[in-house]
């Protein structure tokens, strides 16, 4: 709570600065000398919009408008409008598939420094994973709808962005709001950012009204960071996040098999559904997770623009109060094949240990000896994921307008090894997304 | 104890920013053509579906905040 109070005080201070009319004076409205303006290696486009705070409502962690929106080039009009549609498909070796169409739009005034944006997406999920088979349940099909609205206002070196979002499935309803403040210093060579978000999730069961059965999960998120221009092609950044979750987020469908202590020791990694069913005790309680979770992440970013390519590296270190520690490395290398075509390879590595209460096979001596904390969520166990793939981007606009119509597509594959789980030893998955972005 | 713990990350952050600043070149607004390139933005090349997959497949979360340093216009 101390951390939350400090962050709130900082936030309030910056907000007061922002509202002070004296701060509206642009500190670095320098214009380039005419002789210098033509010597830059690349033309300087209008200021790309800053993405607003993270959209936490759809659990995606995605922040801001779609990438292509950030390539907006002012055409002389005071207001730019862009629309984006994406369709993505996911498949994995545990019989889960997801189809995700989405639409998004942004209206912005680069000269006045404001922008509003919105996004709506649908997830059509179909699953028949071993976890579902083990409970003798039919295949799982679900539609999730999520949307968010955001704004950004940055008339000078101080800026504010906000975002509200919601996500709905028949058994899960999420609402969130966030605000992010940015301040540019040192002629915009140093950018400070801080943000606060609040979300509230209602967790229920399909077919049962929330009024009959539901659990509440509330979360506060605080972000603090800085981005530094090192030279004319290199930017580095360091960002810290704290997310404080309060409430029971146990899955009301997830039953945990228990075993006598002697049998538990013999359950192998990747034990089949039949093996688990034959070995487990009669008692099969629902999952029970701790009622609060404090998550902390520290993320370093590097973006380096070379003559005709860009290297982007992101490294995230993570720790939480459940004992989970993780390292995530993400690398993209964009290559300009021509003025209209960009390709990029992409790699991602995620390594994590398990939460403190993780066990492959929970031991119990009877119904009076059920472990207080128990889970069957493989993503809370030790795992490692290696991912690789890439994308290609085509600028399809008329001559000289490389940002008017942009078509891009990505394909990535992932291999995940679960070091200490039943049912599944490894998972192969693939994600493909195609995006069309149009300026009006 | 709580206060000390909560202020430590901020001190580390400030220290790192200060150290990195010492090696930095002061870049003027009209020298920012490369910095303003779309691929320099953290969101470029990653759509909402990709972020959602990571949030489901990985136990960790966070790192969504960003503060790009763009072309310096406006």
Domains and CATH numbers, chain A: 2-439 (2.40.160.40)
Number of H helices and number of E strands within chain A?
A: 5, 18
The partner residue sitting opposite A226, judged by closest CB among B17, B27, B39, is: B17
**Helix A2-19 / helix B2-22 crossing angle, nearest 10 deg:** 50
The token duo for A319 is 């720790």
Structural contact between residues A163 and A53, judged by C-beta atoms closer than 8 angstroms: yes
CB pair distance less than 8 Å for A243 and B42? no
| A-B contacts at Cβ under 8 angstroms | 323
Transcribe A402-430 into DSSP letters. TTSEEEEEEEEEEEEEETT-SS-SEEEEE
CB atoms < 10 A from the CB of A144, how many? 20
Structural contact between residues A435 and A85, judged by C-beta atoms closer than 8 angstroms: yes
What is d(CA A173, CA A376) in angstroms, rounded to the nearest whole number? 22
Tell me phi and psi for residue B25, to 5 degrees: -90, 140
The token duo for A257 is 């098999």
CB pair distance less than 8 Å for A193 and B39? no
Closest chain B residue by Cα to residue A39:
B31
Most A CBs within 10 A among B67, B70, B72, B73, hence the mutation to make, goes to B67
The partner residue sitting opposite A44, judged by closest CB among B7, B61, B71, is: B71
What is d(CA A201, CA A218) in angstroms, rounded to the nearest whole number? 6
DSSP label of A4: H
Burial of A411 (0-12, 13-18, 19+ CB in 10 A): middle
CB pair distance less than 8 Å for B73 and A110? yes
Output the pLDDT for position A257.
94
Nearest to A342 by CA among A410, A388, A398: A410
Band (B20; pLDDT cuts 50, 70, 90): low
Which residue's structure tokens are 């999960």? A217
pTM of the entire predicted model: 0.79
Most B CBs within 10 A among A24, A61, A236, A300, hence the mutation to make, goes to A61
* Pairing mode of beta strands A158-169, A172-185: antiparallel
Nearest to A166 by CA among A50, A53, A59: A59
Structural contact between residues A329 and A317, judged by C-beta atoms closer than 8 angstroms: no
Chain B touched by A201 (CB under 8 Å): no
pLDDT in tens, chain A (440 residues): 444 444 444 434 433 333 333 333 333 333 333 333 333 333 333 333 333 333 333 333 333 333 333 334 444 458 999 999 999 999 999 999 999 999 999 999 989 999 999 999 999 999 877 776 666 666 778 899 999 999 999 998 999 999 999 999 999 999 999 999 999 999 899 999 999 999 999 999 888 999 999 999 999 999 999 999 999 999 999 999 999 999 999 999 899 999 999 999 999 999 999 999 999 998 889 999 999 999 999 999 999 999 999 999 999 999 999 999 999 999 999 999 999 999 999 999 999 999 999 999 999 998 889 999 999 999 999 999 999 999 999 999 888 787 889 999 999 999 999 999 999 999 999 999 999 999 98
- The residue extents of the domains of chain B are 1-25
The token duo for B14 is 């400030």
What is d(CA A387, CA A333) in angstroms, rounded to the nearest whole number? 14
Q: Which residues of A86-113 are buried (b: 16+ CB within 10 A; e: fewer)?
A: bbbbbebebebebbbebebbbebbbeeb
CB atoms < 10 A from the CB of A23, how many? 17
What is d(CA A130, CA A133) in angstroms, rounded to the nearest whole number? 5
Chain B touched by A229 (CB under 8 Å): yes
Transcribe chain B into DSSP letters. -HHHHHHHHHHHHHHHHHHHHHT-----GGG-TTTTSGGGSTTTT--HHHHHHHHHH-S---------------
Transcribe A248-270 into DSSP letters. ----TT-B--EE-HHHHTTPPTT
Number of H helices and number of E strands within chain B?
A: 2, 0
Contacting A residues, span 338-367, partner chain B, CB-CB under 8 Å: 342, 344, 346, 350, 352, 355
Closest chain B residue by Cα to residue A180:
B65
Most B CBs within 10 A among A70, A180, A356, A389, hence the mutation to make, goes to A70
CB pair distance less than 8 Å for A67 and B29? no
The token duo for A202 is 């209602």
Output the pLDDT for position B26.
87
Output the pLDDT for position A133.
66
CB atoms < 10 A from the CB of A24, how many? 12
The CA angle A304-A307-A308, to the nearest 5 degrees, is: 95
Closest Cα of chain A to B27: distance in Å? 6
Chain A residues in contact with B16 by the CB 8 A cut-off are 238
Nearest to B46 by CA among A236, A81, A379, A70: A70
What is d(CA A378, CA A385) in angstroms, rounded to the nearest whole number? 12
Closest Cα of chain B to A285: distance in Å? 23
A44 to A73, A87, B71: CA distances (angstroms): 9, 31, 7
Chain B touched by A197 (CB under 8 Å): no
Collapsing DSSP to helix, strand or coil, A120 comes out as strand
Closest Cα of chain A to B56: distance in Å? 8
What is d(CA A11, CA A17) in angstroms, rounded to the nearest whole number? 10
* Pairing mode of beta strands A362-363, A258-259: parallel
What is d(CA A440, CA A69) in angstroms, rounded to the nearest whole number? 12
Output the pLDDT for position B17.
63
The token duo for A371 is 């472990």
């Amino acid at each position: 709570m101390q951390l939350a109070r400090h962050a709130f005080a900082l936030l309030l201070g910056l907000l007061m600065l922002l509202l002070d009319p004296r701060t509206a004076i642009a500190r670095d409205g320098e214009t380039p000398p005419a002789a210098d303006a033509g010597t830059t290696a690349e033309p300087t486009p209008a200021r790309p919009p800053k993405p607003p705070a993270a959209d936490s409502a759809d659990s995606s962690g995605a922040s801001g408008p779609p990438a292509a929106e950030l390539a907006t080039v002012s055409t002389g009009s005071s207001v730019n409008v862009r629309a984006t549609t994406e369709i993505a498909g996911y498949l994995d070796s545990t019989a889960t598939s997801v189809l995700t169409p989405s639409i998004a739009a942004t209206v912005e005034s680069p000269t006045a420094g404001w922008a509003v944006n919105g996004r709506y997406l649908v997830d059509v999920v179909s699953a028949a994973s071993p976890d579902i088979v083990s409970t003798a349940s039919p295949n799982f099909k679900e539609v999730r709808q999520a949307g968010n609205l955001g704004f950004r206002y940055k008339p000078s070196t101080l800026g504010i962005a906000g975002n509200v979002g919601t996500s709905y499935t028949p058994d899960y309803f999420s609402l969130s709001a966030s605000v992010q403040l940015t301040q540019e210093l040192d002629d915009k060579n140093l950018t400070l950012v801080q943000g606060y978000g609040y979300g509230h999730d209602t967790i229920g069961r399909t077919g049962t009204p929330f009024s009959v059965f539901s659990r509440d999960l509330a979360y506060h998120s605080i972000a603090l960071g800085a981005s530094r221009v090192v030279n004319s092609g290199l930017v580095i950044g360091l960002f810290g996040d704290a997310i404080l979750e309060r409430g029971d987020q146990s899955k009301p469908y997830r039953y945990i098999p228990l075993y006598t202590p002697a049998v538990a020791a013999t359950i192998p990694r990747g034990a089949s559904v039949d093996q688990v069913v034959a070995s487990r005790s009669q008692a099969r309680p629902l999952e029970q997770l701790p009622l609060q979770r404090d998550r902390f992440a520290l993320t370093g970013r590097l973006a380096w623009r070379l003559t005709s390519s860009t290297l982007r590296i992101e490294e995230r270190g993570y720790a939480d109060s459940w004992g989970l520690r993780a390292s995530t490395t993400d690398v993209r290398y964009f290559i300009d094949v021509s003025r209209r075509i960009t390709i990029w390879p992409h790699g991602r590595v995620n390594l994590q240990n398990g939460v403190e209460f993780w066990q492959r096979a929970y031991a119990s001596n009877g119904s009076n000896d059920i472990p207080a904390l128990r889970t069957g969520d493989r993503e809370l166990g030790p795992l490692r994921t290696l991912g690789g793939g890439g994308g290609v981007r085509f600028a399809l606009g008329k001559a000289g307008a490389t940002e008017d119509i942009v078509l891009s597509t990505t394909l990535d594959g992932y291999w995940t090894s679960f070091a200490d789980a039943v049912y599944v030893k490894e998972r192969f998955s693939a994600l493909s997304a195609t995006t069309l972005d149009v300026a009006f | 104890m709580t206060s000390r713990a909560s202020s430590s990350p901020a001190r580390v952050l400030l220290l790192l920013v200060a150290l990195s600043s010492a090696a930095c070149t002061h870049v003027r607004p009209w020298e920012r053509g490369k910095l303003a390139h779309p691929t320099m933005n953290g969101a470029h090349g990653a759509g909402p579906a990709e972020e959602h997959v990571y949030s489901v497949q990985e136990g960790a979360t966070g790192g969504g905040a960003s503060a790009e340093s763009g072309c310096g216009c406006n």
